Amino acid sequence: MSLYENLINKQEKLSVIGLGYVGMPIAVEFAKKVDVIGFDLNEKKVQLYKDGIDPTNEVGDEFIKQTTVEFTSNETRLKEAKFHIIAVPTPINADKTPDLTPVEGASTIVGRNLTQGSIVVYESTVYPGVTEDICIPILEKESGLRCGIDFKVGYSPERINPGDKVHRLENITKIVSSNDDESLEEIAKVYELVIEVGVHKASSIKVAEAAKVVENSQRDINIAFMNELAMVFDRMGIDTKEVVDAMNTKWNALGFYPGLVGGHCIGVDPYYFIYQAEKLGYHSQIILSGRKINDGMGGFVADAIIKKLIFANKVVKQANVVILGITFKENCPDTRNSKVEDIIKRLKEYGIEPIVVDPQADADDARKEYGVELVDLKDVRDADCIVFAVAHDEFRMMTLEQIDELFCISDNSEKIIVDVKSILDKNKIEKSGYSYWRL
């Protein structure tokens, strides 16, 4: 009997290693079909799941309460599983080189708890070659087993979009790959249990690894182009959004807008591709240029804020700037690699200590990652400048009257509104006399 059959007959278990924005939804979805062990080193996070609390907001508390996933921080429980999915983050170091510590650590943990006949599938985003050249040797060393004989390895890059309630795990085509045809079929059948739209079988693990970094690099480059246009149009006195809206009336327009590009995928994955290319003697031109542009957008926005303060006759050092949002994207509590931090850092260079509001973000995460103490919106008063940095629903729904209550002055011309995500009605705000700028 195949491992797939043993899983659906509940004679074997599936494990998910890493219960974050990617791993936890996978574990919950698979638990509807098979027995699942959900493992994470973070005991606090595991306890939250056990208590029926979803800190990621990806599936919600009700689903966490109802799920049959066996959440644990005890790695020896992994010995009970035969199909392992590794979904740990792959961040970058300060010098923009790949930080493979999490995926290497997960490989070590799985390796020392690996049993004969198992399949290990990596979902973490890596550059081509990591799975076979780095992860498999760790699995073999820790387990004493031989890959291809005693256990099999596959790669299936995660494609979950945190905070997206439309494009979900089950309706995004899943790329699957393995180091032999037999295990590829097995891996495909297992994923087809939860992926309603089916899977795409890549010809090799390296192809699947490359597909992931390339799809995010492509998006990064397209946004970089729009960001470059935004910087040029700002000098020309042309509204970028109006240009893009006009352009998007053509059938083959791509629909990209300028913005801050952070998070654990688009703001990171291109560096994995660049790193491996440079190891092979090729210096990236387009991808690296796109990254430099996108990495500089926080500073560009901050400089725009400073200009607005000066034109409004504000004393820059004494200006009260309120930033709405610190997560890397809207309606998501994930603060990792948020480019809002770049706005904050640049403002501090001018002597401004901005007030930061984010009802979606975890206060402890904001404090730990950025040294930012989040403030409740109802406690904000006497602002000189309001910066809409993240398009959370809470901010989108604010009326002009509610925004006005946050300011300290009566003259609208001295009230500065900076709209990074272009979520406000420009005409209405400008007709009311406010000093308005958007990216």
C-alpha 292 chain-centroid distance:
19
Q: The tokens 């699942």 sit on which residue?
A: 36
Q: Which residues pair with 435 in a beta bridge?
A: 416
R_g of the chain computed on alpha carbons: 24
Q: Where are the alpha helices (DSSP H) in 327-413?
A: 340-349, 363-370, 393-396, 400-404
Angle at 97 between CA 85 and CA 136, to 5 degrees: 35
Q: Span 296-439: which CATH code?
A: 3.40.50.720
Strand, coil or helix: 292: helix
Six-digit token string for 100: 């493979």
Rounded Cα distance, 170 and 385, in Å: 42
Mean pLDDT, residues 196-224 taken together = 94
Is residue 409 over pLDDT 60? yes
**pLDDT of amino acid 144:** 96
* CATH architecture assigned to 204-287: Orthogonal Bundle (1.10)
Rounded Cα distance, 421 and 172, in Å: 26
Q: Is 265 a catalytic residue?
A: yes
Rounded Cα distance, 137 and 235, in Å: 53
Rounded Cα distance, 104 and 82, in Å: 20
Q: The tokens 């800190």 sit on which residue?
A: 55
- Tens-digit pLDDT profile for residues 227-276: 999 999 999 999 999 999 999 999 999 989 999 998 777 888 888 889 98
**DSSP secondary structure letter of residue 295:** H
Give the start-to-end residue ranges of the domains of the chain. 3-201, 204-287, 296-439
The active-site residue, picked from 265, 332, 385, 408, is: 265
Q: The tokens 């390796």 sit on which residue?
A: 111
- Tens-digit pLDDT profile for residues 38-76: 999 999 999 999 999 998 888 889 999 999 999 999 999
Q: What sign does the CA torsion over 103, 109, 111, 115 have?
A: negative
Contact 269, 128 (CB under 8 A): no
Q: Span 3-201: which CATH code?
A: 3.40.50.720
Six-digit token string for 147: 């890959």
Asked whether this chain's domains 3-201 and 296-439 adopt the same fold, the reply is yes
Rounded Cα distance, 118 and 138, in Å: 15
pTM reported for the whole predicted model: 0.90
**pLDDT of amino acid 60:** 87
Strand, coil or helix: 26: helix
- Of residues 376 and 171, more confidence is placed in 376
Residue 321 makes CB contacts below 8 A (sequence gap 6+) with 305, 309, 347, 352, 354, 355, 383, 384, 385, 387
- Tens-digit pLDDT profile for residues 349-398: 999 999 999 999 988 889 998 999 999 999 998 999 999 999 999 999 99
Residue 229 makes CB contacts below 8 A (sequence gap 6+) with 240, 243, 258
Is residue 163 over pLDDT 90? no
Half-sphere exposure of residue 112: CA atoms within 13 angstroms, side-chain side? 8
**How confident is residue 170, by pLDDT bands cut at 50, 70 and 90?**
confident
Is residue 186 over pLDDT 70? yes
Q: Where are the alpha helices (DSSP H) in 70-204?
A: 101-111, 130, 136-143, 181-191
Neighbour tally for 164: CB within 10 Å: 14
Contact 384, 320 (CB under 8 A): yes
The residue type of 299 is: G
Phi/psi at 386 (5° precision) = -110, 125
Residue 73 makes CB contacts below 8 A (sequence gap 6+) with 39, 40, 41, 42, 43, 46
Average pLDDT value over all residues in the chain: 92
Burial 395-431 (b: 16+ CB within 10 A, else e): beebeeeebbebbeeeeeebbbbbbbbbbbebeebee
**pLDDT of amino acid 126:** 92
DSSP for 64-92, written as a single string: HHH---EEES-GGGGGGEEEEEE-----B
Q: Which residues pair with 438 in a beta bridge?
A: 419
